[in-house]
Amino acid sequence: MYYRVLPQLKNAIRARKERVILPFSKMDLAVLNSLAAAGFVKGVEEEAAGRRTVLAVRLAKGEGKGTFSDFKLVSKPSRHTYADYRSLRPVRQGHGVGVLSTSAGIMTDREARKKKVGGEYLFQIW
């Protein structure tokens, strides 16, 4: 799940890795695609590794755009938090992004405000 992927990405960015290989799940793929659209990772690809499918995440080099410094899990397995589109506020004064799981799929808080949909608030990243 996404709460396992985020620390792995953070550690890989701090270690200045170019690429991270993660186990495949549809939820992780959707979350990583939304992070790629927001500019926090360069891209995500599905790859076959033997009989398994994995996600290859391309990370940005160095500091600056494409990297993130930290994240905050809003919904946890023990506590789910929901928000409607009116209650979504900018993360870190617009420098971060919130990710939601909505009925229209996984999207950032900016997209959810545009489409006027709410859902489970998964995490914030900046």
Span 80-115, pLDDT tens digits: 999 999 999 999 999 999 999 999 999 999 999 999
User: What phi, psi does 54 have (nearest 5°)?
Assistant: -125, 165
pLDDT attached to residue 1: 86
Is 71-125 in CATH node 3.30.1490.10? yes
Integer-rounded Cα Rg, in Å, for the chain is 14
Question: How far separated are the first and last CA of the chain, in Å rounded?
Answer: 19
0.85 exceeded by pTM: yes
Pairing relation of β-strands 82-83 and 19-23? unpaired
pLDDT, tens only, 28-40: 999 999 999 999 9
Domains of the chain, residue spans: 2-58, 71-125
Is 2-58 in CATH node 3.20.20.70? no
Confidence of residue 66 (pLDDT cuts 50, 70, 90): low
